Structure 1
Amino acid sequence: MARPVDILDRAIIKRLQDDGRMSSAEIARQLGVAERTVRARIDRLVSDKVIRLVASIVPSTVGYAVTADVFLEVEAGRIQSVASLIAAKPEVGYIGLTTGDRDISLQIHAESVEKLYDFVTKELGTISGVVRTNTFIIPKILKTHFDFVGPGMRIDEESEREADFGPRRIGS
């Protein structure tokens, strides 16, 4: 079982979310701990699958001006196969199986409203088993999954200042 995420881990994660390229040395300097401690913590957070260190494309900066959420109703017994087909499409940024009125939720990035329409009607709408699509264009994204900090993961500056991260580096 993975070790629980503590306040030092949360402080490291916060810095990496603000700047994914921040060096272990800089994080260590800011937190007043040894660089090897930060490197070891990051390695553990990655190996425990708490965090992933990846480059993330901002779709709007590379020509994908339109983002939309699409919800699909799918014939019983076809949900998994339909989802697998859709997941392979490069326009799809996210896909998940849902509960309720719709069976599949996905997010699409398209170059234009016309291309979004073509994708929904010609690609998704023609997949065997898809009964209905419901599309919502997203004019403004306020928060992405890269900004996610769960309730138990939040850390504020005061908590961080009051935290005892253990032995301090000499000179910090």
Structure 2
Amino acid sequence: MESVMLDTLDQCMLHALQIDGRVPFSRIAAVLDVSDRTVARRFGRLRAAGALRVSAVPHSHVAADTQWLVRLRVHPRAATGVARTLAARHDTAWVTELSGGTEIVCLFRVPGNGAAPLAMLSAHPGIVEVTAQRLLRHLMDHRWRGRMSALTEQQLAGIHPPDTATPDPVRLTDLDRRLFRMLSADGRAACADLARQVDWSESAVRRRLTELRGAGMLLFDVEVEPALFGFSAQCLLWLSVTPSRLNTVAASLAADTETAYLGATTGRHNLLAVTLSRDAGTLYSYLSERIGALPGVEQVETAPITAYAKRFAPAQMSRAS
């Protein structure tokens, strides 16, 4: 990724896009009191540098897919190749390499109550061991607070997404899934471009996007490297929590700025967290003084994230088709 820095205007624009990934640049410009061209130029600069990507994905609860968290122990020399192979699959939501180059963690989404493709993974010559846990529930109803604190309440009121308080039911079609695949790559893709790729008319695409958003089916995420906000230590945590205290622990961690994601899983550990800290020292303090002091936390396994081969928002990933 090209070296970039975020100023206040960039952070405000990113916050606005996180609220509504398809909000017109003209609306962002009006809220921030700058020109449309300024917003478009800032967006283009960050995207060209590989520092920004907007993805639009179906709501995980409504899409009714099964999500599997898969941990792979790999040969060090094979790690990058395995990660790239997994990232190219349509049924992976995110793929990350962990420290040491011997482990990869990814999230699969399969239709209905389908199983993770463990047999296929085990047959890969670069993969030594495969384990899978089902992701039972997402335990955060908001995104990482570190990238959503730039706009004032008055500015937020000017960048609100479509009202989804009383959604009408929508049945997903095969054509919808083709549309999702395009939007997961570029959530701001023009309707004309989407129409050409999914072989619909532009008016049909525009109308369908309105229906999907109105039904609460389509959500947006802005992928930005946390280091640009000053958070350089990314970590996966597997926590073993006393079942009776699981909701209490999750609610407590969800309120922390360091927490980017929380999910309940099956397996030896029942809580998965993605945390962001400014450096190794603050990560140590967070683990020892914050998480270590929470009643009900029995065990914590940590693994620093060194690279993402694929990154969508865990709470709302793209569906395979």
TM-score, length-normalised on structure 1?
A: 0.75
Change (3 A) 1:40 1:117: same
Does the aligned pair in 2 maintain the 1:97–1:105 contact within 8 Å? yes
Higher strand share: 2
- For 1:39, the equivalent position in structure 2 comes to 206
Instruction: State whether structure 2 residue 201 is matched by structure 1 residue 22.
Output: no
Instruction: State whether structure 2 residue 264 is matched by structure 1 residue 94.
Output: no
Unaligned 5+ segments in structure 1 are 154-172
Does the aligned pair in 1 maintain the 2:223–2:312 contact within 8 Å? no
**Aligned equivalents of 1:83 and 1:146: distance in 2?**
18
Does the aligned pair in 1 maintain the 2:234–2:305 contact within 8 Å? yes
Aligned residues: 151
Single out whichever of 17-26 and 110-119 deviates more from structure 2: 17-26
Instruction: State whether structure 2 residue 244 is matched by structure 1 residue 82.
Output: no
Correspondence 1:18-167 to 2 at 5 A: 18-146=185-313, 148-151=317-320, 153=321
Cα distance, 1:57 vs structure 2: 3.2
Cα distance, 1:62 vs structure 2: 2.4
Does the aligned pair in 2 maintain the 1:71–1:133 contact within 8 Å? yes
SS in structure 2 opposite 1:138? strand
Change (3 A) 1:56 1:119: same
SS in structure 2 opposite 1:41? helix
Does the aligned pair in 1 maintain the 2:180–2:319 contact within 8 Å? no
- For 1:2, the equivalent position in structure 2 comes to 170
Letter in 2 for 1:4: L
**Aligned equivalents of 1:76 and 1:26: distance in 2?**
48
What does the per-residue CA deviation read over 1:60-90, in whole Å, with 9 as the maximum and x for residues that have no partner? 3322222111111223411111111111112
**Aligned equivalents of 1:98 and 1:146: distance in 2?**
17
Cα distance, 1:31 vs structure 2: 4.5
Change (3 A) 1:25 1:93: same
Does the aligned pair in 2 maintain the 1:46–1:53 contact within 8 Å? no
Change (3 A) 1:146 1:82: closer
**Aligned equivalents of 2:242 and 2:178: distance in 1?**
46
Does the aligned pair in 1 maintain the 2:170–2:212 contact within 8 Å? no
Single out whichever of 69-78 and 87-96 deviates more from structure 2: 69-78
Unaligned 5+ segments in structure 2 are 1-168
Cα distance, 1:141 vs structure 2: 1.5
Q: How large is the Cα RMSD of the aligned pairs?
A: 2.3
Single out whichever of 80-89 and 136-145 deviates more from structure 2: 136-145
Cα distance, 1:52 vs structure 2: 0.5
What does the per-residue CA deviation read over 1:104-132, in whole Å, with 9 as the maximum and x for residues that have no partner? 11001122122111111111111122222
Identity of aligned residues (%): 27
